[in-house]
Structure formats: structure tokens, C-alpha cells
Structure 1
Amino acid sequence: MPPPDTSPAAPLSDSPEDRNAVAKTWMQRGIALLSASNPASLQEAMHCFDQALAIRRELPFEGSAWFRWLLTACWMNRGDVLTRLGKPEDLSAAIQSFDEAIFHLLRLPLDADPQYRSRLALAWMNRSLALRAQATPESLNEAMLSLDRAKTVLEESVTSERPLNISMLATLLLNRAAVLLELSPSRPLESLEVAQAALNLSQPTEHQVLQAAEISLKARHIFCRAVAVLLETPPVDTTRADDWIMQATDKVDEAMHLTASWERHAGASHFRGLRQELFRYGCHLLLAYQPHFMAEFLLDVLDPEQGSPLLAREDELYQVGLESLDLAASELRRRGPLDLGLQKMDRLIEVLESLSHAAERIKKRAMQPSAG
């Protein structure tokens, strides 16, 4: 038995309003398919948006800001799908779709409705994502220019009655920080500073607003990546290295508590992937540069008696932690007392004992039944 036909019905009449009603149905169907985010659903969503686009391109948008506004939605959604599909030809077509959206948005009376400038800024931001996904030196530089244009649009939208869209600006800065790390040559110090700026915007509401929490976590992740690049790129600024490491490990600790807070109060567990990756960054930074702080850091994260924020045992975190403790102990034995300064053999022994003690506590905790 063939599946039921869910295609929109033909318009009741040839009026623009009735034809647009059919286009709206196609759009709603396409948006519903986007949530599945698998290749088959994305292809079907693309078909829906193309159907809506074919109708709305024939509407009298030249004399109607409303119909032009609806047309920009088709181009935006089409570009979104193509970016998600991600093949080289898809990404090129996505950029063309966002260019079409921008073309029409710039022909709207931008001061008449704050939504116009918001969508224009979003179009430039989404264009930068497609360019970034192309991952060529030229496309990454062009992505930076697109983000600059998006920032200009956001700033131009501010009036005494319309404050700056903090969430959109934080997202823009987050994307900019990521691109700065991917440029050739990369610009890690600037990336670190921009990631911190994004965090400053999102942090005040990160415990109340899910989107702010996601931006905050991703900003911390980029900050840690930037620190890793800075520490691995000669010549290393040794006067600032310890501060960078301390800030990065502090951000990892903050992320552990933030994700646990969301799990505790909202049941949101989809941050676990970011949490695990941030935890690994913290371990790698300390292992490479400050192994004598490894025990304190890991007990803070993993040991309930030390105030661990985790609600349930996460086996991957425990495994990474135990491996890091073993590696830290081996590395300190190899380096000898010079790693901790002259005449500090006693301190070295103390640190090695703390690493062993931490390993025992974490092994004991890891053997306990998981709470969930």
C-alpha cells in the first residue's frame, strides 16, 4: 500500500495569498523535516523548500515587502539545508542561497521592522558557516568578512528602543573565535580574546537560558583550544603561559559545574560530549605543563568527597583521569626535581604521593555502581 500523499493541496485560487498559503505549507513541512537531521530527511526538506521557493519567486514581491520577506525565508532555509548536507557542491550552493537572501533583505525597509536587520545579520552569519565549512584559506578569510558585515548590521540595529541582541552577538563572536583558529596562519591569541568576549556576554544567564549555556560551553572550549595552540607555537610567551593554563583549567572546572547544574535542574544531558572534550583538554594541559596540579584538578572533578559536580559516574571521564594520573606520575619521575625547582625533592615525593592517592580514590569511585 503506497504511503499517503502529504503534498500540499492546490491553491484555492490564483491569488497571491492563496498561492502563498501553499508555499507556507511546504515551508512548514520542510522545517519539520530539519529536526531529523539525517541525509534522507534533509533531501526531502530541500525538496519542500524548493517547492516553496518556486511559488514565492512568482509572487509580486517587487511591490510588497511582506512577499519579499517570505521569499528571503525560502533562501535562508535552503542555504541551511545545503550547509548541513556539506558536500563541496552543496556548500557552494548554500553560499549562493545566502547571497540571494541578502540581496532581497537589503531591498527591504530595514528600519521599518527590527526582524529585517536581525535576519540580515543571521544571513551573513550563516554565509560565514558555509564558507568556514569549505575550509580553504580563501573561504576562511571570506568567512571573517561575512562575520564583520553581520556585526555591522547588528550594531546598526541598535536604537534607544532596541537594545543590542546579546545572544546573536555572542554567537557571532563564538563563530569568529573558531574561524581565527582555523586561519592559516592561525591567530590563537585573538581567538582566545574573542572567545572570552563571547563568554562574558553569555555567562550572566548561562544557568537560566539553555542557549546561553551552550554558547558559554563552546566559548570555553575554543578558549582551551586557543591556549593549547599558544603553548605549542614557538616562541611561547612564558610570562603569560601560567596564566593561560590557570584560566583554561578554571574554565574546565566551571564547565563541569555548569553541565551538572543543567542535568540536575532541567535533565539536559546533551552537553556531555562537550563536557568530556573540555575535561580532556584540561588533563592534557596539566599533563604537559603543570602535572603537579593534576591530582587536585581530577579530585575536584571526579571525587564526590571533594565536591565533584557529576551526578552520575561517567566511565570515560574516569578512564581519562586515571590514564592522566599515571602519565603525570611517570612524567614527573622522568623530569626529576628540576620541574618543581631546586632543592625540592621532598615536594616531588609529596606530589607523587598525591597522584597515587588520587588514583586510588578515583579507582574506588569508578568501581561503585553508577547512579544513572
Structure 2
Amino acid sequence: MNEEFRKLKEDSLALMAGGFSFLQSKNFREAEHCFREAAVMRDQMPWKEDAEAAWMRAASWINHGDAIMRDGVSSRPGDALESMKKGIESLRYVDLGANPAFPEQKALALIHQGTLHGEMDNFSGAQTAFSEAELLLREHGDTTRVESRRLAGMLMVNRARIHLKEGSIRNAVSDARLGVGILNSANDPGAAVRARAVFCEALAELLEIPDGLNGVEDWIAEATDAVEEAMGILRKTGTTEDAAADLVRYGARIYRVCQPAFLGEFLTEWLSGNGPLAADETLKKEMLGELLLAKVELEKNVLRRAHETGYVQRQTEILKKLQAGEAALEKG
């Protein structure tokens, strides 16, 4: 290693450390700046001839793209995608079999690449990148490693999100279901909650497609399990996760349409007292609207069948439960 290479390595490592520190404090703009500076330095290394230099260049560009995505993928997806491409390009000059971290890093970049293509409505590009990542993990991934399992689950969940975006609902349900199962053993509470949120979103979208209610009892049970498991994860670990609010939204939608008798209880458990999201006043207001909509739908049904005494009595009991949910949310 010549002196110039050594100096570039030392200086870039300091910048990378700074970038990771900024990531931890969620200062994504500063993290992005550090990673970019490190990447520009590492571009000067002989990365096509030296495997260590290639690995270092890949790490800096991939982390640069990741910082952009964390800052808000919708603002600069093209920049993030370009960084991922540079990282993947560097990894062509690394022996992926030499270290399990090498294929994991490439799989991460491909998953990000697929997600970015999907966000830009390039669905064929997204699926190509996801398929490459899937093949790579199948050939080089080590299922005894937590990181390999986490990436496999992340792949399924991100692909499910892009399936939802392109309207391929049943594929989204299938991939999200697999992602939830894989992430159960990945020791990442936040990812486990996010996976369940995507799964519930996909199940909720079944309500909008032809024959979507086929097997409804089975997938309602799955949605219920996903919500309860997420609540258990949040309470056990103390994790705070933005996706939990989405999980409540889609769970509420499913309950309102399919099992309105349980909607009030569901929202009470999440949003009142010691519920995981009891402090989220914006979500409470939103869910009060969901309860109101459920009441309106119930009243319409009663008017259509007002002559059926038994039916009216059952709907009256459901109405009382919805009103109890309203009271709980309003009380806080």
C-alpha cells in the first residue's frame, strides 16, 4: 500500500465514521455529505485492481445512497440510484465468496436499487433488481447469519411495497407474508413492525379488487395476528416505529369493512390509556373519522333491513361498541 493510498484510506475512514454518527442522530443531510466526500476520495483509489479499495468504494457510495433515501426518497431518487449503481459496479471487483459481508452488501444495494426504480415507476427495472438480489442471497447468503435473514425479509417487504404501487395486490400479499415470516428471526423489531404494516396494507387492498373477499375469514385472521404481534413487539422492546400508525390505519379499514364489531376495541387498545400510540393526537382524529364512517355504514344497513328485528338488535350492539371506542379516543 503506497503512501497516497494509505492517506486516502485514513481520511475516508474518518469521514465514514462521521457519516455513521450523523445517521444515528438522524441528521441525514450531514451523513450524506460525509459519505459523498469519502466516496469521492475512494474514487481515486485503484479500485479496479485492488479488492480492498473496491470494497471501500462500494461501501461509501451505497451508504451515500442510503442516506439520501432516509432523508426522503421522493426528493432525489435519481441521485440515490446513481450512488447504488456505483456501489454495485465496485463490487464486481470483489470476490463475493471471500467474506459473507460482501454478498450482503451487494444484496442491500440491489434491494435499494429495486425500491428506487419502483418509486420512479420503473417496475420492470425494480423487479429485475429484486430478482438479482434474491438470486444472490440464494447463492451466497448464509441463513445462519442474522444479517442475511434480515436482508431476505427486507427484499420481500420492499418488493411487496412496489407490487402495491403497481397494483399487483395478490403478489404483494404473498411477498409481504413471506417477509413477515423471515423477519421473525432477524432480531430487528423495527423491520418486523414495518413488515406487518405492509402486510396489513396489502390485505386491506384486497377489499378493492374483484374476488378479493375470497377466503376473507383466513386473511382477516392473518391481519388480526399481524396487528397483535406488532403491538407485542412495540410493548416488549419499547421500539418507536412510524409504520405502526400505518398498521393501525389499515387494520382499522379491515375491521370497519369486515368486522365492525371489533373496530372500537381495536382502536381503544392502540390509541387510549397505555396504548402504543396513545400520544398520537393526529392519528386519533383520523381514527375518529373511521369510527364515524363505520357508524354511517351501520345506520344505512339498518335502514335497509329495519323490519328484521334480530338484525337491528345485533347492529345496535355494534353501534354501542363503536360509541364506546369514540368515547375512549376522545377521553385519551
Q: TM-score, normalising length from structure 2?
A: 0.83
Partners of 2:297 and 2:110 in 1: how far apart?
48
Matched, 1:225 2:201: yes
One-letter amino acid of the structure 2 residue matched with residue 26 of structure 1: L
Alignment correspondent of 1:215: 191
Identity %: 25
* 1:355 Cα deviation after fit: 2.9
* 1:199 Cα deviation after fit: 0.8
- Cα distance 1:314–1:359, how it changes in 2: closer, same or farther (>3 A)? farther
* 8 Å Cα contact 1:191/1:226 also seen in 2: yes
Matched, 1:349 2:299: no
Partners of 1:48 and 1:222 in 2: how far apart?
32
- Cα distance 1:78–1:253, how it changes in 2: closer, same or farther (>3 A)? closer
* 1:196 Cα deviation after fit: 0.8
Partners of 1:356 and 1:254 in 2: how far apart?
27
Partners of 1:130 and 1:105 in 2: how far apart?
19
Matched, 1:156 2:139: yes
- Cα distance 1:97–1:311, how it changes in 2: closer, same or farther (>3 A)? closer
* 1:156 Cα deviation after fit: 1.0
Alignment correspondent of 2:87: 101
* 8 Å Cα contact 2:150/2:183 also seen in 1: yes
Matched, 1:169 2:152: yes
Matched, 1:91 2:77: yes
Alignment correspondent of 1:33: 22
Alignment correspondent of 1:288: 257
> Which residue of 157, 168, 171 maps to 1:190?
171
Partners of 2:284 and 2:74 in 1: how far apart?
39
Alignment correspondent of 1:249: 224
Partners of 1:88 and 1:238 in 2: how far apart?
33
* 1:162 Cα deviation after fit: 6.9
* 8 Å Cα contact 2:206/2:213 also seen in 1: no
Q: Give the number of the structure with larger relative contact order, counting CA–CA contacts within 8 Å between residues 6 or more apart.
A: 2
User: Does the residue aligned with 2:215 lie in a helix, a strand or coil?
Assistant: helix
Alignment correspondent of 1:240: 215
* 1:31 Cα deviation after fit: 3.0
* 1:258 Cα deviation after fit: 2.8
Partners of 2:42 and 2:185 in 1: how far apart?
41
Equivalent residues in 2 for 1:326-345 (5 A)? Answer: 326-336=292-302, 345=309
* 1:144 Cα deviation after fit: 1.6
Matched, 1:125 2:111: yes
Q: Quick check: which has more Rg, 1 or 2?
A: 1
User: Does the residue aligned with 1:60 lie in a helix, a strand or coil?
Assistant: coil
Q: TM-score, normalising length from structure 1?
A: 0.75
* 1:286 Cα deviation after fit: 2.4
Q: CA-atom RMSD, angstroms? A: 3.4
* 8 Å Cα contact 2:156/2:175 also seen in 1: yes
- Cα distance 1:162–1:214, how it changes in 2: closer, same or farther (>3 A)? closer
* 8 Å Cα contact 2:13/2:38 also seen in 1: yes
* 1:174 Cα deviation after fit: 0.8
- Cα distance 1:58–1:241, how it changes in 2: closer, same or farther (>3 A)? same
* 1:249 Cα deviation after fit: 3.4
* 1:95 Cα deviation after fit: 2.1
Q: Which moved more, 1:90-99 or 1:101-110?
A: 90-99
* 1:254 Cα deviation after fit: 3.1
- Cα distance 1:322–1:113, how it changes in 2: closer, same or farther (>3 A)? closer
Gaps of 5+ in 2: none
User: Does the residue aligned with 1:165 lie in a helix, a strand or coil?
Assistant: helix
One-letter amino acid of the structure 1 residue matched with residue 198 of structure 2: I
User: Does the residue aligned with 2:93 lie in a helix, a strand or coil?
Assistant: coil
Equivalent residues in 2 for 1:286-325 (5 A)? Answer: 286-295=255-264, 297-298=266-267, 310=276, 315=281, 319=285, 322-325=288-291
Alignment correspondent of 2:64: 78
One-letter amino acid of the structure 1 residue matched with residue 233 of structure 2: L
* 8 Å Cα contact 1:173/1:198 also seen in 2: yes
Alignment length, in residue pairs?
A: 331
* 8 Å Cα contact 1:154/1:164 also seen in 2: no
* 1:103 Cα deviation after fit: 1.8
* 8 Å Cα contact 1:95/1:127 also seen in 2: yes
- Cα distance 1:166–1:338, how it changes in 2: closer, same or farther (>3 A)? farther
> Which residue of 138, 141, 147 maps to 2:130?
147
* 8 Å Cα contact 2:119/2:162 also seen in 1: no
Gaps of 5+ in 1: 1-12
- Cα distance 1:362–1:230, how it changes in 2: closer, same or farther (>3 A)? closer
Q: Which moved more, 1:24-33 or 1:216-225?
A: 24-33
* 8 Å Cα contact 1:125/1:172 also seen in 2: yes
